[in-house]
């Protein structure tokens, strides 16, 4: 209910009224690169309302508009047939493009947007680190069995 009331109905995040740690968040304070996603027929977060982040911050924004709606457009896995997306990156401090101007400038690509997100993450990530030890012996619990555990074999 908080999501719907504060973020959707009242638009508290973009209006600078959404508190985190007791202080309101200002989207204008974002300075790290942002990867944003909107879907063409989203009924919960219409893509133009997500796109308005472009005038809320001067940060670098890679914005993707994907085919589908709120669920199908986001969950559209790589290799899913009949999916497409548009993508465009505005550099930090770059000029604002309104939603319709953005759609006209962003190239359309076939496939899932997830491969673009993976490439975006990899370009901004360091080398993989060592995996942590599995189990919880540090908390005083002994490991009972390897993952995924024996419960997955139980029948209802």
Q: Which has the minimum average pLDDT: 35-44, 102-111, 121-130, 142-151?
A: 142-151
The first and second tokens of residue 40, run together, are 């063409």
The tokens describing 20, both together, are 């985190």
* Residue 142, pLDDT score: 76
SS3 34: strand
pLDDT in tens, 56-74: 999 999 999 999 888 888 8
Q: How confident is the model at residue 82 (pLDDT cuts 50, 70, 90)?
A: confident
More confident call, 131 vs 52: 52
What pLDDT score does 35 carry? 97
* The pLDDT value given to residue 138: 63
In this prediction, residue 135 carries a pLDDT of 58
**DSSP character string of 21-66:** TTEE--GGG--S-EEEEEETT-SSS-HHHHHGGGGT--S-EEEEEE
Assess contact for 71 and 43: CB atoms under 8 A.
no
pTM beyond 0.85: no
Regarding predicted confidence, which is higher, 70 or 107? 107
Report which DSSP code applies to 114.
H
The answer to whether 52 and 61 have CB atoms below 8 angstroms apart is: no
- Percentage of the chain exceeding pLDDT 90: 60
For 72, left (φ over 0), alpha (ψ -120 to 50), or beta?
A: alpha
């Amino acid at each position: 209910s908080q999501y719907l009331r504060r973020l959707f109905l009242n638009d508290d995040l973009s209006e600078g009224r959404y508190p985190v740690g007791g202080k309101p968040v200002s989207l204008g304070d974002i300075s790290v690169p942002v990867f944003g996603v909107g879907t063409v027929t989203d009924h919960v977060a219409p893509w133009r309302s997500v796109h308005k982040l472009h005038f809320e911050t001067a940060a670098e924004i890679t914005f993707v508009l994907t085919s589908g709606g709120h669920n199908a457009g986001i969950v559209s896995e790589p290799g899913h047939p009949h999916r497409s997306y548009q993508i465009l990156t505005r550099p930090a401090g770059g000029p604002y493009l309104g939603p319709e101007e953005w759609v006209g400038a962003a190239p359309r690509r076939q496939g899932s947007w997830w491969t673009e997100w993976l490439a975006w993450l990899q370009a901004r990530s360091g080398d993989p680190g060592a995996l942590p030890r599995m189990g919880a012996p540090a908390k005083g619990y002994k490991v009972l069995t390897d993952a995924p555990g024996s419960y997955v074999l139980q029948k209802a």
